[in-house]
Chain A
Amino acid sequence: MQNDLIIAGFGGQGVLLIGKMLAYAGMADGKEVSWLPSYGPEMRGGTCNCTVVIADRPVGSPVVERPRVAMVMNLPSLEKYEGMVKPGGLLLVNTSLISRDVQRSDLRVVKVPANEIANRLGNPRAANMVALGAYLGATRAVSLAAVEGLVRETFAGKAKVIDSNLAALQEGYALGEREAADGKAVSQEVGA
């Protein structure tokens, strides 16, 4: 069983960080993991992405051209990755920054107004945590508890930041779970 996903967005949205947290959490859950960042000649505000693989046996290719899941945090990322997700795969869309609909009809789509939720919770920088929560709620790829532990570790000593990030994570998780229960999202077994 393998979970793989590409997380993409603007530099500064924290897509590399949530990818790393997933890999750490997967490792804490006893899984095999790999995290591969894009490291091209990017500029601040440019696009960036990472590929995370979480598997029950040693990870083969850390390079994934047809991911089972894509999490897109901005429009250029939707444009780039919508066509690459495996048929039957899952697309998490940050609807706060992406106004157009997903064109493919063979994907499960979870719409996450990540920035709106983060703003409402009083920490605009936690939009990535909302999206990460939604991914976990929809797929249960790693345990929420493992990621919560990492949030506490990452922001150790900053109680307010921990609280708002945990709230963002949990709200995203509930949203992802709800969408999955509605049958719009998908369980772990996506694609071939």
Chain B
Amino acid sequence: MAKKLMKGCEAIGEAAIKAGCKLFFGYPITPQNEIPEYMAHRLPQVGGTFVQAESEVAASNMIYGAAGSGERVFTSSSSPGISLMQEGISYIAGSELPVVIVNIMRAGPGLGGILPSQSDYFQATKGGGHGDYRLLVLAPWSVQEAADLMQDAFDLADYYRNPVMVLGDGLIGQMMEPVEFKAERTPCKPLPPKAWVATGCSGDRPTNIINSLFLDPEVLERHNQKLKAKYDLMVRDEVRCASYGTDRPYEVLVVAYGTVARVCSTALDDLREDGVGAALFRPITLFPFPYAELRAAAENARAVLVVELSTGQMIEDVRLALEGSRPIHFLGRQGGMLISPEAVSERVSAISAGLPEEVRHG
């Protein structure tokens, strides 16, 4: 198919359609309103249903119910709206249902602002809702990758019967870039028929029950351990990451995800011209986090710089990966302010010139 210039939000919507998604439930919030707008327009064309819910709490319970039918379903929101959805997301994880949730992050806490941010990393990767559960979290750095990951997200959700989150920031949602959709797409996981759906059975098979309530502690513990085994499989099989400039010698390894990694890649190009060796490591899955891959990439560097649009969240996973083996620096902006390539270059140059580590451990 020919390349089309699309906003990130529209590309995410079209990717869902291409992945066979038939249902969308959501509630408006900037900077992701183009997603529900797009779905409201496109879903009726493919025989699907769009519902603007009365609130994010309702939307998360609507995707919970719809997922039980086995149809592909997703919702999207931005940070404060995702907070409201956490109860539903926890129930969905507990009930082992496949849904896709898109968070186009804006700055917080509270209502915060509407400009880009990466301050929901903890919420996305470390829980958000209550209980022992994990989301599989995918973080695209371009509009094309957002479209690709969005399609994979449906396959991964179905395969693991687990909610999958596509985590972008306001930049991914609002910017336009060329996107190409493959005419024929093979799912990224083998997908058996959904034998667990609650669509009625007229007594011709045992009743399927979808539930997250287990009052017997022994039964609930077995359920918790079953979920844990599933997350372990994700850790073993689903880690995705990319690097940039690691094919040449480097002193400083920059770690960033999403659009911030794009900004860093330009900084690295500029630094090369100035003779400073630096490379980029980019986690694509935030859970599972590429601990071993990052540790290996950092072995070739003298120091590591973490760059985030937050006061430092992913940096905690970077610390776990490095286990104190390399000094760690941090560069962050907050509140919707962006990081420029120049700011990254400046910091990398300073580290390269011997700036001491400024991040305290523990």
Residue B5 is within 8 A (CB to CB) of chain A in the complex? yes
Most buried by B among A36, A60, A64: A60
In A70-85, the 8 Å CB interface with B consists of none
Kindly state whether residue A23 has any CB partner on chain B within 8 Å: yes
B269 touching A60, Cβ below 8 Å: yes
The residues of B that contact A33 with a CB separation of less than 8 Å are: 5, 177-178
Cβ-based interface call for A116 (8 A): no
- Given A61-B265, A62-B262: A36 in contact with B171 (beta carbons within 8 A): yes
Give the residues in chain B near A66, CB-CB below 8 Å: 340, 342
Listed in ascending order, the chain B residues whose CB lies under 8 Å from chain A are: 3, 5, 30-31, 114-115, 170-171, 174-178, 259, 262-263, 265-267, 269-270, 273, 338-343
Asked if A60 contacts B266 (CB within 8 A), the reply is: yes
The reply to whether B262 and A23 contact each other, CB–CB distance below 8 Å, is no
Contact between B5 and A60, CB atoms less than 8 A apart:
no
Task: Collect the chain A residues with CB atoms within 8 Å of residue B343's CB.
Answer: 65
Q: How far is the CA of A66 from the CA of B270 in the complex (A)?
A: 13
A39 to B338, CA, bound (A): 13
Task: Using A36-B171, A60-B266, A61-B263 as known contacts, list a sample of 13 further A-B pairs with CB atoms less than 8 Å apart, ordered by residue number in A.
Answer: A23-B5, A23-B176, A24-B5, A33-B5, A33-B178, A34-B175, A36-B174, A60-B262, A60-B263, A61-B341, A62-B171, A63-B338, A192-B273
Let me know if B266 and A65 touch, CB within 8 A: no
Decide yes or no whether A98 CB sits under 8 A from chain B. no
Q: Which of B3, B5, B114, B341 is close to A39, meaning CB atoms less than 8 Å apart?
A: B114
Known A33-B5, A60-B266; judge A65-B341 contact (CB<8 A): yes
- B residues less than 8 Å from A63 (CB atoms): 171, 259, 263, 338-341
CA distance A62 to B146 in the complex (A): 15
Q: Distance (Å) between the CB of A188 and the closest chain B CB?
A: 18
Is A163 an interface residue when CB atoms closer than 8 A count as contact? no
Please, which residues of chain B bring their CB within 8 A of the CB of A178? none
Residue of B nearest to A40 (CB): B115
The distance from the CB of B108 to the nearest CB of chain A, in whole angstroms, is: 16
- Is the beta-carbon distance between A27 and B174 smaller than 8 angstroms? no
Measured in the bound complex, the distance between the Cα atoms of B4 and A23 in whole Å is: 11
Contacts of B115 in A (CB 8 A): 39-40
B290: min CB distance to chain A, Å: 22
Taken together as a complex, chains A and B put the C-alpha atoms of A108 and B340 apart, in Å, by: 24
Known: A60-B341, A65-B341. Contact between A35 and B114, CB under 8 A?
no
**Minimal Cβ-Cβ distance residue in A for B143:** A34
Q: Contact between B263 and A34 (Cβ–Cβ < 8 Å)? A: no
Q: Which residue of B lies closest to A32 (CB)?
A: B178
Task: Tell me whether A41 is interfacial, beta carbon within 8 Å.
Answer: yes
Q: Cβ of B338: which chain A residues have Cβ within 8 Å of it?
A: 63
The CA-CA distance from A60 to B282 in the complex, in Å, is 14
List, sorted by A's number, 18 A–B pairs whose CB atoms are closer than 8 Å. Answer: A23-B176, A34-B175, A34-B176, A35-B176, A35-B177, A36-B174, A39-B170, A59-B177, A60-B262, A60-B263, A60-B266, A61-B262, A61-B265, A61-B267, A63-B339, A64-B340, A65-B340, A65-B342
Contacts of B269 in A (CB 8 A): 60
Closest Cβ of chain A to B140, distance in Å, is 13
- Pairwise interchain contact B174-A39, C-beta atoms closer than 8 A: yes
9 closest A-B pairs by beta carbon, nearest first, are A60-B266, A65-B340, A61-B266, A35-B176, A61-B263, A36-B175, A60-B265, A61-B341, A34-B177
- Report B10 CB to chain A, min CB distance, Å: 13
Against B, the Cβ 8 Å flags (1 = close, 0 = not) of A111-124 are: 00000000000000
The winner among A24, A32, A39, A64 for most chain B CB atoms within 10 A is A39
Interface centre among A24, A33, A61 (most CB of B within 10 A): A61
- Enumerate chain B residues within 8 angstroms of A24, measured Cβ to Cβ: 5
Instruction: Give A31 Cβ to nearest chain B Cβ, in Å.
Output: 9
In the bound assembly, the distance between CA atoms of A177 and B29 in angstroms comes to 44
Question: Are the CB atoms of B175 and A41 closer together than 8 Å?
Answer: no
A125 CB within 8 Å of chain B: no
Which residue from chain A places its CB closest to the CB of B173 in the assembled complex?
A: A39
CB closest chain-B residue, reference A62 = B175
CA distance A6 to B174 in the complex (A): 16
Report which of B174, B178, B265, B341 forms a contact with A37, defined as CB distance below 8 A: B174
A1-43 vs B, CB cutoff 8 Å, 1 = contact: the mask equals 0000000000000000000100110010000111111011100
